[in-house]
Amino acid sequence: MEFENTVSAIYNKNSYNSYVGGIVNMISYSLNKLVAVLVVTLTLITFSESHANNTIIIAVNKGQFLTVPEAASSEEQVDWWDEDTGDDTACTECFAAAELARFLPKCIALFENDITFETSGSMPPDGDVIIIGSRESNPLIAVKALPDTI
């Protein structure tokens, strides 16, 4: 009986460590995305006056979700531990896009309706475009010969 309790305690400890490790990895991934958003935001601040009357388009892949805001707020519906990372990526990247759309007007001379989302995978003909994602998640990045590092 004592052996079974010891095995059960070890199993529970390992499950807990695996769970905590997964959360730490998810937070680390989200923080990396947030840093990228902040870099883009700081870059846009430098030319805010000359772009005060333009539209800014945030190009992001919404994955299986109907809209960017829906994907951004779907963290409760995403299975973060399954093999399919498509919904994980869409949720994280759309969250970054939604946060950028929310905070950008507070940083530069823009109105909230000056920022729109592009989810079709094609480059918009007008306006300044911010592309969020990676070569794996956003076709606009995949088709361009962008360097791996800047």
Q: Is 126 part of any domain?
A: yes
Position 133 in a domain? yes
Q: What is the mean pLDDT of residues 109-128?
A: 85
**Which residue type occupies 111?**
F
Angstrom distance (rounded) from CA 52 to CA 108: 8
pLDDT at 23: 61
Residues with Cβ < 8 Å from 61, sequence gap 6 or more? Answer: 89, 90, 93, 119, 121, 133, 137, 138, 139
pTM of the prediction? 0.62
Q: Find, among 101, 72, 104, the residue nearest to 88 by Cα.
A: 72
Look over the chain and give the mean of its residue pLDDT values, rounded to a whole number: 75
For the cut 70, the answer to whether the pLDDT of residue 73 exceeds it is yes
Domain-located, residue 148: no
Q: Count of domains in the chain?
A: 1
In a domain, 71, yes or no: yes
Closest CA relative to residue 117, chosen from 147, 139, 97? 97
Place of tokens 């791996």: 148
Q: For residue 54, tell me if it sits in a domain.
A: yes
Is 74 within the bounds of a domain?
yes
Nearest-angstrom CA–CA distance, 25 and 55: 35
Write out pLDDT tens, residues 10-67.
445 555 455 555 665 666 666 566 555 555 555 555 444 444 557 899 999 999 999 9
Residue 120 has pLDDT above 80, yes or no: yes
Residue 150 lies in a domain: no
Residues spanned by the domain of 16? 2-142
Handedness of CA 147, 24, 64, 57 (dihedral sign): negative
Classify residue 120: in a domain, yes or no.
yes
